Amino acid sequence: MEEVVHACGHEHVSAEHASTFEVTSDDWLTPAGDCILAVEADRVPADFDPAFVAACRDPEATITASITVTTADGDTYVETVTGRGDPDLSFENDRSHVGRTSAYVDDRTVLVGADAAAADFDRELVAALADGADLRLELEVEAAD
């Protein structure tokens, strides 16, 4: 089961945060937003299908975030982050999707226990986002065996 979000980079994308990554529906970004990869997301967690949300609440579920970045010249970069579900995931936020390396959960959290954060992303991918490239975030949940 999957959900897809489209967004775009911004000149202030730095992707330096060591424990989170974020995609926001906001149309602006300050240099302090060092976990934010992209802005102007076309969907937010509150838009997701209830069945997807229910599957993500299984603490044994694997949630994979595939981030595909495409430049105006057609260059493509892909980053995959794997985490897990949590019973406290609410998917109620109407602004941002946040992946976390920790177990902390709030209404923006879409996965916990991530094996990477913004600072771990390929620097060419980050540079493309800082130049305004398009981002596709695909969240896929798989139930535990």
Position 127 scores a pLDDT of 98
Q: Which domain holds residue 70?
A: 2-142
CB-based contacts of 27, cutoff 8 Å, min separation 6: 39, 40
Q: In the chain, helix, strand, coil percent, each to 5?
A: 15, 35, 50
The pTM for the full model equals 0.96
Domain with residue 107: its CATH number is 2.60.120.630
Could you give the 3-state DSSP secondary structure of residue 78?
A: strand
Structure tokens belonging to residue 11? 């000149």
By residue count, the chain amounts to 145
Domain count of the fold of the chain: 1
Structure tokens belonging to residue 57? 């609440």
Structure tokens belonging to residue 91? 């998917």
Position 143 scores a pLDDT of 83
Structure tokens belonging to residue 7? 């967004």
pLDDT in tens, the chain (145 residues): 999 999 999 999 999 999 999 999 999 999 999 999 999 999 999 999 999 999 999 999 999 999 999 999 999 999 999 999 999 999 999 999 999 999 999 999 999 999 999 999 999 999 999 999 999 999 999 987 6
